[in-house]
Amino acid sequence: MKKLKAVDFFCSGGGMTCGLRQAGIDVIAGIDNDPSCKDTYEGNNPGSEFLHEDVFDLKEQDLEKRLDLKKNDDNLILIGCSPCQYWSIIRTNKSKSTKSKNLLIEFNRFVDYFNPGYVLVENVPGILTRKDKSGLDNFIASLGQKGFKVHFGTVNMNQYGVPQSRRRFSLLATRLHSESIFPTPNLAYLPTVRDVLGAKNGFKKVHPGHRDMTAFYHSTANITEKNVLRLKKTPKSGGSWKDWANDKKLKRLSYSGNGFPDNYGRMSWDKPAPTITTKFVSISNGRFAHPEEDRGLSIREGATLQTFPKEYIFPSESIGLAAKIIGNAVPPLFAKSLGETIMNAHSNKKHGRRT
């Protein structure tokens, strides 16, 4: 049986690629328009080539020649996990991400042209709730017209072994099987922060602004003296800003209590982490303070909550850039479950069993 191969569009630092490779799939290339992802992607996924390309400018025929791809290849998987800022519910300035709202439409050009055996898409839930504007309606209809069986919906990746409450839109489509396929959630094991962080998991105590010069990268962002005092008054394992809201020296003068209540909060040891975003190193951008130490999360802690292997390195110029790569990633463990589902279904198909 020929080995399944994949092309990972919008690959960033390689979370999806890593998980699919763990499942036994040959990811021949990742495509991204951000060159800062190249060292992380290729350094951790040897044999998977990083293509610095803007999908708006990339032509199907050029990709076909460069990667020696074939049309109607049953063993080909195309992956489109496009940047999701425009469709996110987080109230940020969308002007910089306006162009990205049409990336699914661009990705569909390649699906139409190559007609692969399998298609994977991952994005924020907003792409589904606004599916008429995001292009998702037309994308799913197009897959159906080509004979694909499509499974899609919003999943909580905590139910797939990821130690965070991370709700994402996921789609898995195949034209090789009589019914749609998708990994089954495991409701019996919902991992928490305690399962992966802390001293027993190899994370020594560090202070704000700590610099780890090793590949482990247990580095933390610096915080102001006032924020250190705020954290000292925030109860361990789940405390919030409300515990110092009325302190004249510490209270947030411009904050009325509306908006995002988790900012400046601590994670809880015995709950899943909140969704790890590109700003997870900043305590003012979510519930990203350590459960008991007076600091924010380190780069390695964020990567671990995203299920990157401990040996996965992030050779970035700054903590902020590494956090961006990590926060944008598809958790490799979830990607692995998708890959294993495809591998099992494909094996049954090759052996003549209906799936």
Which residues are known catalytic residues?
84
- Is the per-residue pLDDT at 2 higher than 80? no
Topology at the third CATH level for domain 5-186+331-350 = Rossmann fold (3.40.50)
- Give ∠ CA 225-229-230 in degrees, rounded to 5: 115
The gap from C-alpha 79 to its chain's centroid, in whole angstroms, comes to 13
The radius of gyration computed from the CA coordinates of the chain, to the nearest angstrom, equals 21
Binned at pLDDT 50, 70 and 90, residue 100 comes out as low
Q: Where are the domains of the chain?
A: 5-186+331-350
Helices (H), the chain: 15-22, 38-44, 60-67, 103-114, 126-129, 131-134, 136-145, 193-196, 225-232, 299-305, 319-327, 332-350
Lowest mean pLDDT among 102-106, 144-148, 259-263, 290-294: 259-263
What's the CA gap between 242 and 262, in Å, rounded? Answer: 10
What's the CA gap between 343 and 169, in Å, rounded? Answer: 21
Binned at pLDDT 50, 70 and 90, residue 4 comes out as very high
Farthest CA pair distance, the chain: 72
Q: Are residues 50 and 29 in contact, defined by beta-carbon separation less than 8 angstroms?
A: yes
Q: What is the pLDDT of residues 128-159, one digit of tens each?
A: 876 667 778 899 999 999 999 999 999 999 99
Q: What is the pLDDT of residues 171-214, one digit of tens each?
A: 999 999 999 999 999 999 999 999 999 999 999 999 999 999 99
> Which amino acid, residue 298?
S
Mean pLDDT of 105-120: 96
CA atoms within 13 A on the CB side of 58: 23
Lowest mean pLDDT among 39-43, 102-106, 119-123, 291-295: 102-106
